[in-house]
Amino acid sequence: MLLFLIDFKLLFFFQLLLNLVGAIIVVGFIEPYLLIPTFLMVTVFYFIRKVYLQTSRNVKRLEGITRSPVFAHLNATLQGLPTIRCYYGSAVGLGITQCIGLSGLIQWGMRQSAELENQMTSVERVLEFTRIEHEPDLESVKLLKLEKFIAINLNLVIEPKEKVGIVGRTGAGKSSLIATLFRLAYYEGQILIDNLDISVLGLHDLRRKISIIPQEPVLFSGTLRYNLDPFNEHNDEAMLAALFDVETKSAMTYGMACLDHMMSEGGINLSVGQRQMVCLARAILRNNIILVMDEATANVDAQTDKFIQSTIRTKFANCTVLTIAHRLHTVMDSDRVLVMDAGVAVEFDIPHLLLQNRNSYLSEMVKRTGPGMAETLKRVARESYEVREKRI
């Protein structure tokens, strides 16, 4: 649509320009002295156009709508031009006709040239987007030589199948850590997965192998089948099994037919808990070895939160799970807890051991939950630690 509009304005402008040049040539051939007021008028209105464009172009950049009183009065002003020219020569029909047409050509020529320049601000914006630094390759082309390791504020190792909780105040860097893992932001240093630097991987290859359940469920307008498997990689039986794993009511009621149920944009026809269950089922279906939970239970009730945590422990037992915690009790049974502050890992250890130090960051966070909740959190951490020791 944009290209069509610019092409139309450009074509119209050149047509008017050629007609204007032709009219001036005819008038000048009949009476050369008539070129003096003609060029005087063109010069005057060129400067008027220049003043107009200084405002209209900036208004166009702001996507506003502008109307100039200048061009509205051009026609009336130029009506005197044929009269002026008549005093210079004979009443030759062709010359008079061209003079009358010349007034309209000057008006519309100036107006269309201004409109064309205004429309070119859209091209200007497109060119600005082409100069934006783009993301790395989406597909892995070849493995590049590893860059020299550069130390950053975060330096830690997460073991395979480990369940790690990530806590910290707002702005501590929790979400930035996840954005870096998905290479949504630039970073210094190295992130290794199975001793492979993720910077040498294509973005599609990296992101398709890491599942995420965000705080705000991401759902699209379409069928439940499309939301679970937008790339058509799984059969209906696998999708239905994933829905049964999260105890989706529609799956239990309608069976395979539930996959054809329509969902609104953003899943607004579902409750928040139901949306999160669809995202959880999607993660189960993909069965990646790394799962990220970005405050996934922050907006759900306590019962749904408990069910999600239970499902994570059973269905993702053989996966590495990173959980950004909104509620401390969701990470107290984690293998280890990463406490962040101002982008730095201030603590990274087993929750029960961190709580043994009354002055630790985690202990201070637990204290702020109140005496009753603090005792509950300590008990959960202790029981999880005891189970871990027996397993070892």
Do 296 and 215 touch, CB atoms closer than 8 A?
yes
Task: Tell me: pLDDT of 369 over 60.
Answer: yes
Can you give the length of the chain in residues? 392
The percentage of the chain sitting over the pLDDT mark of 70, rounded to a whole number, equals 77
Range in 231-245, 257-271, 358-372 with the lowest mean pLDDT: 257-271
Model pLDDT, residue 140: 63
**Spatial CB neighbours of 197, under 8 Å, sequence gap ≥ 6:** 146, 147, 190, 191
- Nearest Cα to 201, choosing from 137, 134, 289? 137
Cα-flanking dihedrals φ and ψ of residue 348, to 5°? -155, 95
Q: How far apart are CA 340 and CA 345, in angstroms?
A: 5
Domains and CATH numbers, the chain: 2-130 (no CATH), 163-219+270-391 (3.40.50.300)
Q: CB neighbours of 50 closer than 8 A, spacing ≥ 6?
A: none
**Between residues 159 and 149, the one the model is more confident about:** 159
d(CA 217, CA 136): 26
269 backbone φψ class: left, alpha, beta (φ>0; ψ -120 to 50): alpha
Strand 262-263 with 344-349, pairing = unpaired
Cα dihedral 351→353→359→362 (10° resolution): -10
- Per the prediction, the chain carries an average pLDDT of 77
pTM comes to 0.62
d(CA 281, CA 77): 72
* Residue written as token pair 């910290």: 168
Looking at per-residue pLDDT, the higher value among 296 and 83 belongs to 296
**CB atoms near residue 33 (< 10 Å):** 12
By the 8 A CB rule, do 163 and 323 touch? yes
User: How many degrees, rounded to 5, is the angle at CA 183 between CA 181 and CA 172?
Assistant: 55
Q: Any idea which of 62-76, 143-157, 216-230, 343-357 has the lowest mean pLDDT?
A: 62-76
* Separation between Cα atoms, residue 361 and residue 372, nearest integer Å: 19
Convert the pLDDT of each residue in 241-256 to its tens digit.
988 888 787 777 888 8
Inform me whether the pLDDT recorded for 29 exceeds 80.
Answer: no
Give the per-residue pLDDT at 353.
Answer: 92
